[in-house]
Amino acid sequence: MKLNNRFLPILIPMFVFLLQETYFFYPRLIYVTATLAVLLIFFIVWQFSRASKIDSHWWNYLILPAIISVAVMAYSIFINGKFIIQLLFIFHLVFLYLYLRQVYYYLLNPLAYEAFSLENISSYINWLAFFFSAATLYGLASFLNLSISWLALIMISATCLLVYQIIWVNKIELRAGLPYILISCLILTELFWSISFLPFNYNIAGLSLAICYYVIIGLVKNHLFNKLDAVKVKTYLLLGLISLSLILFTARWV
């Protein structure tokens, strides 16, 4: 069984990629392909956790790849260029492989696992998953005129899961991190609601919210690690303000 597990981190992303290609040629199958993609990811993390002596809580490893897989497929709806869509799917293939490979090493081959590898890859994918989720929801509000109230419920659910995933992967006790998960979700949902009334396209709106997410998560992590000081607070806030200023300036030309 261990020999079979070694190949799953490359096989499962390839199967997910094939499902995305199926959706690309048959858009009406988006719900079917998205569901099958999540089931494939569930299978691999469940298989790894079942065979592991380190951690059997498979759901913690499912959150991130499941959210970004669905978010990428949903986000591709709003992309006109076929070539860009293919690049997006390939990018997702690579990141999914890198994440699942680290999960395999961490759970089943700890001697080959490099310290903080899972934390590092998770931080990048987590932020991208948030951006794709936020941009997609803003796109649904703009193009399909869906109620922002219902979309906010989806946003708060995705945000809670993603913030929890960051807390968990950094090995922060849930009891200590839970208040910050709830506060972060509340703040980001309020920002999501507020940004929806601004005259931005879905990419600018999603990126603006994602920058706020980066700042909030950075401050929370450093606080929970007892590493937060005035310098880091100023650095995060300044970086966030500069990034938002550049985006807002660019938004005038979009």
Both 20 and 89 in one domain: the answer is yes
Both 63 and 141 in one domain: the answer is no
In tens, the pLDDT along 26-50 reads 999 999 999 999 999 999 999 999 9
Both 181 and 232 in one domain: the answer is yes
- Given 52, 79, 113, which residue is the final one in a domain? 113
- Given 80, 113, 146, which residue is the final one in a domain? 113
Both 18 and 84 in one domain: the answer is yes
Does residue 99 contact residue 121 with C-beta atoms inside 8 Å? yes
Both 3 and 101 in one domain: the answer is yes
* Confidence check: pLDDT of 2 > 60: no
Both 88 and 176 in one domain: the answer is no
Both 87 and 139 in one domain: the answer is no
User: Half-sphere exposure (CA, 13 Å, Cβ side) for 73?
Assistant: 28
> Nearest-5° angle of CA 56, CA 131, CA 214?
80
In tens, the pLDDT along 180-219 reads 999 999 999 999 999 999 888 999 999 999 999 999 999 9
**Inter-helix orientation angle 202-224/230-251, to 10°:** 180
Is residue 119 included in any domain, yes or no? no
- DSSP type of residue 113: P
Question: Three-class SS string for 119-166?
Answer: HHHHHHHHHHHHHHHHHHHHHHHHHCCCCHHHHHHHHHHHHHHHHHHH
- Rounded to whole angstroms, the Cα distance separating 132 from 135 reads 5
Is residue 135 included in any domain, yes or no? yes
Query: Global pTM?
Result: 0.94
Is residue 122 included in any domain, yes or no? no
Tally the domains of the chain: 2
Residue 249 pLDDT: 80
In tens, the pLDDT along 79-103 reads 999 999 999 999 999 999 999 999 9
Which residue segment(s) compose the domain that 91 sits in? 1-113
In this structure, the number of other CB atoms found within 10 A of the CB of residue 143 comes to 11
Does residue 158 contact residue 141 with C-beta atoms inside 8 Å? no
Both 146 and 212 in one domain: the answer is yes
